Amino acid sequence: MMVKICGITNREDALAAIGGGAAALGFNFYPASPRYIAPEAAADLISSLPAVWKVGVFVDEAPQRVLGIARQAGLDIAQLHGSESRENYPQGIRVWKAIRVRHGQATEDVDSPAEAVLVDGPGSGETFDWRDVPRFAGKLILAGGLDAGNVARAIAQANPWGVDACSRLESAPGRKDHSKMAEFLKAALGATA
């Protein structure tokens, strides 16, 4: 099970996530987000981290801008949360495409050329019926309101390749509660044992 902790803005949270078993960390480059991190700050932070996938979260950014930030910050993966068409995916970096589920329906086509599709709830930190996750041939990452209390059930119902959590693991936007994060990581990794 691939487990990603998103919304990382500082070294302490990053190291706690990695220490708990996270395989990937998410860095949000959407300026309107309370979890936004400037590319320069992300580069400084990422350069000091041990080996883990570094995922940049982007919303409706031009492919060249995504690639520029990816090079500057040292990202491994671009996670696209906007209305990007498959023809507009950045080339030369791994891509995960995020889609939302509303009222049991995916808001976008899940047949994506991306390496993985991240299925998220209708809004930030909101859960949805995990049995409504659309089926497709690629890797599925489940997100949306996951925490230690529900991640095992979500994994059992949706059978994802990975899970991603952010807001329910925070003490404040952009600041992780290390106890909540450790409990989530233990529950997620234990659900697949």
Task: Report if residue 21 sits inside a domain.
Answer: yes
63 near 82, Cβ under 8 Å? no
Task: Report if residue 174 sits inside a domain.
Answer: no
CATH number for the domain harbouring residue 105 = 3.20.20.70
Other C-beta atoms closer than 10 Å to the C-beta of 157 total 14
166 is catalytic: no
Global confidence as pTM: 0.93
111 is catalytic: no
Task: Report if residue 130 sits inside a domain.
Answer: yes
pLDDT computed for residue 177 by the predictor = 98
pLDDT computed for residue 108 by the predictor = 57
Sign of CA dihedral 69, 174, 106, 111: positive
Helical axes 178-190 vs 151-158, angle rounded to 10°: 30
Strand partners, 78: 56, 95
pLDDT computed for residue 111 by the predictor = 61
Catalytic residue among 13, 120, 147, 164: 120
Task: Report if residue 173 sits inside a domain.
Answer: no
50: containing domain: 2-163+179-190
Task: Report if residue 168 sits inside a domain.
Answer: no
pLDDT computed for residue 110 by the predictor = 59
Task: Report if residue 172 sits inside a domain.
Answer: no
pLDDT computed for residue 100 by the predictor = 82
Task: Report if residue 170 sits inside a domain.
Answer: no
Catalytic residue among 6, 13, 164, 166: 6
Q: 174: which 2 tokens?
A: 């952009």
The domain tally of the chain equals 1
Could you say which residues of the chain have pLDDT below 70?
A: 102-111, 123, 137, 192-193
**For residue 144, which of 99, 77, 80 has the smallest C-alpha distance?**
99
